[in-house]
A and B are shown apart, each in its own frame.
Chain A
Amino acid sequence: MTEQVTPALALSGVFKSYETGTNVLSNFNLAIQPGSFCVLLGASGSGKSTLLKCIAGLTPLDAGDIRLHGTPLSRKRLQDMGMVHQDFGLSDRLTAAQNVMSGTAPSVSWWRVALQLYSRTTQQKACALLERVGLTEAHANRTTDKLSGGQKQRVGIARALISDPRLILADEPVASLDPRSSAEVMSLLKNAANERGASVLCSLHQIDLARAYADRIIGLKHGHIVFDGPPDALTHDTIRSIFNIEASAPERQLEIA
């Protein structure tokens, strides 16, 4: 099969536990093929967020190896990754455009960061990206606290894309959005990633969204993979086991879960 291709992201033997003593991940292995849209599906506390935090370098690993296109993860390599956050992670008093350009800040000289004075190219790129995610010039110059939730997440996606990442991480990107904005943001994320040939690893708890957008669904429960396959292979029984729902629960509930 695709064994010869270097995975976009490869985790092997990852261990992570918190001080409270709970083992969130133990001996976790995962490989993401380039260009795929993978959804991590699981209930709260299943380890999805911890997994993404480990990959994004937000929390140190206890043990294990994470490789991005074959090279081990380092701070420099984080710039090959873009991340979309559940709570948007925008600096509210900066404008949408400044927030988007801040995605390049780690690789920009300090005085440009200090003065918030980005190069002409970066500015043009930010405008193009904001247009791509469906925002206008007026939005670009507005501080992000004056944008709606859906618009904020669009800015978040634009920021994740500005460093031309080959992998995009998304931690519950639509958890605080209404169903319509959720669908819009998800398709935007999928299409934008497709255009650039970037792979996406996105955590979700909405089964319908996972079914609609994923190429591959990875079901997580207590830090272990309990399902791994295309959306069609996701049966009601697997959903029940992922979300710990009693067998007697009506099937309709499973779709919304």
Chain B
Amino acid sequence: MSIMTTRTSVPDWRLRQPFGWKSVVGLLAILFVACLSAERVQLDRMAIEIGSFSLELAGLSEGSQIGRGVESVTRDMFPIAISEKRPLDLVEDFDANALPFWARIETEYVETTTLDPDTLQMGIITEEQRFLVQPIGYLVFVLGKMLETIEIAIWASLIAIIFSLPLAWLGSSNYSPHPLVYACARGFVSFLRSIPELISALFLVLAFGFGPIAGILALTFHSIGFLGKFYAEDVEAANVSPQNAMKAAGAGTFTILRIAVLPQVLPSYIGLSLYILDRNIRMATVIGLVGAGGIGQELKGRFDMFQYDRVGTILLVIFLTVVALDIISARFRKRLV
């Protein structure tokens, strides 16, 4: 008898197939639901309008709704507003001897048609009106608002980092002093994470008024919700070997966390904190829309006044800032992590 005899009978095993009829039925069900939903959210109209816009771009059609919309905005947006020109009587605390940097006064003669009170007839009056002109005034103003936005984001991130560290300790299952404390810390953090910044900012503006305070608080709350969760999960996932070694040496919780946990989680903490800073800068521009300070507040104001040239300046500044921050934070991350 040879050991190498080939068996002619095949074992009647059943191998698991990559998919079966259940998967196919499931897929069809998903498709059906997707079709219903697509109609509800007007995906069909979207396709039609994008199609007609593409035809217009290709020169095959006279006009489209998107084309007209885009044109009406872009027509007013360019050239963007760089300078600032204001009537002198609207400038507060104007002092002709101490003009703002790089500014000049222009005099214009404005003809206005008014009713002459004596003759009761319409007459043309030429008025001399003086303006304060700052050639890059508006750009500087917008840059100042952008700086304020970045400051809001940095403060929000800093405060969030400081408050998240103890929450990470209380909310990590292996170091929390009590299961109840753990549940409370995790619940609090989840609660903060569940409120979008824009919505909390809406209410904080009611409480603190327009301005950066509401913005800082709104961003802080959400950031704590994010960092508190991920910091705590890092603590839980840290390698236990050095922690046991410190425990065996008789160390208390603080010493173990400082020596055996913090050095391990630090790179991840820096990465998370940089991400939250990055995100806060982008979000800070948005929450200004509800009046929480910074460049978004300016954007909303100009948009509502149909001053699209100024909106253009603001959008350009935001775009350039975000690109610059991306580059900076990528370099920073490479060096630190």
Contact = CB atoms under 8 A, between A and B. Distances in A.
Interface residues of A, number: 33
A106 B241 CA distance: 17
A79 B250 contact: yes
A106 B250 contact: yes
Nearest to B250: A78
Contacts of B249: 78-79, 82-83, 102-103, 105-106, 159, 163
Interface string B244-260: 11111111101100111
Interface in B5-46: none
A102 B246 contact: yes
B257 to A, nearest CB: 10
Contact of B248 (A83, A93, A114, A116): A83
Contacts of B258: 105, 113-114, 116
Contacts of A88: 241, 245
Contacts of A110: 254-255
Contacts of A87: 241
Contact of A56 (B248, B254, B264, B266): B248
Interface string A92-113: 1110000000110111001001
A113 B259 contact: yes
Contacts of B259: 91, 94, 102, 105, 113
B242 interface: yes
A105 B250 CA distance: 9
A253 to B, nearest CB: 28
A92 B254 contact: no
Contacts of A159: 245, 249
A58 B247 contact: yes
Interface in A192-234: none
A92 B245 CA distance: 12
Interface in A111-146: 113-114, 116
B144 interface: no
Contact of A113 (B244, B254, B267): B254
B250 A57 contact: yes
B250 A76 contact: yes
In this complex, the member of A77, A105, A156, A163 whose beta carbon has the largest number of chain B beta carbons within 10 angstroms is A105
A64 B251 CA distance: 23
Interface string B134-145: 000000000000
Contacts of B250: 57, 75-79, 81, 106-107
A92 B238 CA distance: 12
A74 to B, nearest CB: 9
Query: What DSSP secondary structure best describes chain A's contact surface?
Result: mixed
Given A75-B250, A79-B249, A105-B249, A90 B244 contact: no
Contacts of A102: 246, 249, 259
Contacts of B255: 105-106, 110, 113
A45 interface: no
B100 interface: no
Contact of A91 (B248, B254, B260): B260
A190 interface: no
Nearest to B261: A91
A89 interface: yes
B263 interface: yes
A85 interface: yes
Contacts of B264: 91-93
Contacts of A163: 249
B264 to A, nearest CB: 7
Given A102-B259, A114-B258, A89 B245 contact: yes
Contacts of B245: 83, 85, 88-90, 156, 159
Nearest to B258: A113
Nearest to B259: A102
A93 B247 CA distance: 18
Contacts of B242: 89-92
B248 A106 contact: no
Contacts of A83: 245, 248-249
Contact of B266 (A75, A76, A93, A156): A93
A85 B244 contact: yes
B35 to A, nearest CB: 52
Nearest to A101: B259
In this complex, the member of A76, A88, A106 whose beta carbon has the largest number of chain B beta carbons within 10 angstroms is A106
A58 B248 contact: yes
Interface of A: 56-58, 75-79, 81-83, 85, 87-94, 102-103, 105-107, 110, 113-114, 116, 156, 159, 163, 169
9 contacts: A79-B249, A83-B245, A90-B242, A92-B242, A92-B264, A102-B249, A102-B259, A106-B251, A106-B255
In the A-B complex, the 8 residue pairs with the smallest Cβ-Cβ separation, listed nearest first, are A89-B245, A78-B250, A93-B263, A56-B248, A106-B250, A106-B251, A83-B248, A91-B242
